[in-house]
Amino acid sequence: MSQRVVITGLGIVSPMGDAVETVWQGMMTGKNGFNKTTIFDATTFPSKFCAEVKNYDFGKFVKNTELHKHGNRGTKFVLGATVQACKQAKIDVETDNPKDGIDRTRLGIYLGAGEGSIDTENFFEALIAGYDSETSKMDFAKWTEVASVKFSPQHELEQEPNMPISHIALLAGVRGPTRSCLTACAASTQAVGEAYKIIQRGDADVIIAGGAHSMIHPLGITGFNRLTALSTNNDNWQTASRPFSATRDGFVIGEGGAIVILETLESAKKRGVEILGEIIGFGSTNDAFRVTDMHEEARGAVNAIQAAIKDAKITKEQVQYINAHGTSTSENDSIETRAIKTVFGDYAKKLPVSSVKGMLGHLIGAAGCAELITCVMALRDNTLPPTMNYSEPDPELDLDYVPNKPRKVENLEIVLNESFGFGGQNNVLVVRKFKD
């Protein structure tokens, strides 16, 4: 018999704050985390704004900051989120003698992440030193003269996507199964889904799952600008992210870390921790189409939603709310709407759908888990978060997008969390309010 998998801890570090309740209450009042880019000088870039994490005090969460000082931005964000989630789930961290009742060989990690942030100043100093303007080629002997002195070996190691996992393992003494997935914007949803499956089949009792990412650097922003994925509405940047609106022109890139603690129902009861929700379904597919485009008929997204509903052993009419990927790009919002209408048919018109990226920004590898956390909070408060900046309906997009203000509902029980990423990745979770 497969295990029931429940959620016992939540943690987030985001552009809207570094506490779950702070972020949730901000969403209830329509706040956002958008700001002019300050991590580097973006004044000549097509997109001059983003959703940076501001005023983050790493030492507020982690006592032994020296042990993690070489971690990149994403790593430090997710460590803060991990400490929050572990505290709520009563998991001991930063100790050689944990007394939380968890066998460390059955405590795991599953994290969605990406490449580490670059050492911008030293990277470009070496690039300038090595570039030969007469030949328009790189002289790598000159590059090496600078790079071999300026580049930190620890920083270069931290470029590896598995490094955040290593830091979390040190923090919590994890000696069980550890996994990393690099499925772009769908990564942390996939991480939570795969962690759910690992626990369900009995290979772990507790898993720290989620995501970490920061791509707010010149190469990351340039790449997304070249893909025309980012909003360039520099005159109205506070309302630039407009999911499902006719005036949408791209997403606002963000950064952060988000973590949920998953464990067996038996473990949670034995340890006496509060149960915040239950994962009951997961679907994962690929479009097998273009690398940067979703399939026009939304075939991968449709299959992922259907697979998640089937895995949850529910009917489609039992789904009461969808937390959409909703990037505020023309393609994603149109095709995601098509997927929902294909799966749910006539019921789609009665089904509320919203995207919190209009407030939170797009946290890339951390996005899905951050949005899952909002699903758990929605179940707790029977309140749907809004799609902010919904200024002008798109005649082709005709669902209920919960525009511009939160909505109280009665008896919210089952919700869907959708994430779709570059490369055709589609991951969907079904979350239920816990009932014993």
Q: Tokens in use for 160?
A: 């590896």
Closest CA to 321 of 408, 435, 416, 402: 416
Q: How far is CA 363 from CA 203, 235, 353, in A?
A: 30, 22, 19
Q: Which of 185, 213, 295, 375 is catalytic?
A: 185
Of the candidates 402, 419, 295, the residue with the CA atom closest to the CA atom of residue 368: 419
Kindly name the residue from 213, 217, 295, 362 that is annotated as catalytic: 362
CA distance 1 to 165: 30
- Asked whether 34 and 26 are in contact (CB, 8 A), the reply is no
**In angstroms, what CA-CA distances link 411 with 26, 380, 381?**
23, 10, 10
Residues in contact with 154: Cβ distance below 8 Å, sequence separation at least 6, in sequence order: 70
The CA angle 384-387-391, to the nearest 5 degrees, is 145
| Structure tokens, 336 | 């995601």
In the residue annotation, 185 being an active-site residue is answered as yes
> Which one of 181, 213, 325, 369 is the catalytic residue?
325
Count Cα neighbours of 96 within 13 Å in the Cβ-side half-sphere: 0
CA distance 361 to 228: 16
Task: Please give the Cα distance from 114 to 365 (Å, whole number).
Answer: 6
Is 68 noted as a catalytic residue in this protein?
no
Question: Catalytic residue at 217?
Answer: no
Q: Which residues are catalytic?
A: 185, 325, 362
